Amino acid sequence: MHEILIEEKILARNDEIAAENRLALSSRGIYSVNLVSSPGAGKTSLIESMTQHLKDLAVSFAVVEGDLEGDFDAKRVESRGVPALQITTGRACHLDAHQICHSLPWVYGHEGLELLIIENVGNMVCPAEYDLGEDAMITIMSTAEGDDKPLKYPAIFSASELLVINKTDLAPYTDFDIKKARENALKVNPYLKIFETSCRTGDGIKEFAGYLAALTKSKMK
């Protein structure tokens, strides 16, 4: 009973801070997205792959990286000429609104920023419960996983506005059924906007980046 009460208080406080983050970012015309997935689904690769497309579309963006340890992903993003801030969570399997709040001064230090991409810790359970103050949650799943994942982890798909089915180039070599994955995802959340991408071949990356750019520009109007 006590553990439940403590968790409720933590989530309530997190939601309060998330609302403050959302208002602060919105007041500066910054659109924010929270990328969530299981480990290895390709979140960082997706960011890398769409970097040039976003630059071509004149979208100024920065990335906040969440990982248990190390700054490997932040360095990968920075190597593409994109500002990146690493948040090391230690044993925590997700980012929370308080951590994002502390990153905002760094975000505001980049003049003319239009888009903030938050790459969450690889986990398909806890991030569903923790609002960061983002405008949209984007779930990424890959064809190296199971096409029944939306049915096994419904909370993260229900909380998301967009779904990216990544590593489509591997589909012929796995038992993953893209059509079934789409159907399963839409059973959980019929409002999902779904994209299919391959960071290796570039398929679908331009379309996804274009959609994200359009969302960003619409926020600025």
- Indicate the pairing of strand 136-142 with strand 162-166: parallel
CB 174 within 8 A of CB 22: no
State the residue range of the domain holding 160.
2-220
Contacts of 22 (CB under 8 A, 6+ apart): 32, 133, 134, 135
Q: Which CATH number is 102's domain given?
A: 3.40.50.300
Q: What's the mean pLDDT when you consider all of the chain?
A: 93
Structure tokens at 134: 């983002």
User: Average pLDDT of 167-174?
Assistant: 97
Taking CA atoms, 148 is separated from 86, 119, 124, 141, 177, in Å, by 32, 23, 13, 11, 9
pLDDT category, 7, cuts 50, 70, 90? Answer: low
Give me the helix-helix angle, 205-220 and 43-56, nearest 10°.
Answer: 60
Structure tokens at 130: 């923790």
Residue 1 pLDDT > 50? no
Residue 146 pLDDT > 50? yes
Residue 97 pLDDT > 90? yes
Number of domain units in the chain? 1
Q: Angle 36-40-14 (CA atoms, 0-180°, nearest 5)?
A: 25
Note the pLDDT of residue 5: 55
User: Average pLDDT of 168-190?
Assistant: 98
The 10s digit of each residue's pLDDT in 11-52 is 899 999 999 999 999 999 999 999 999 999 999 999 999 999
User: What whole-number percentage of the chain has pLDDT above 90?
Assistant: 87
Contacts of 204 (CB under 8 A, 6+ apart): 168, 195, 196, 197, 198
Residue 175's CB is within 10 A of a number of other CB atoms, namely: 8
pTM of the predicted structure, to 2 decimals: 0.93
Residue 96 pLDDT > 60? yes
Note the pLDDT of residue 100: 97
Residue 2 pLDDT > 50? no
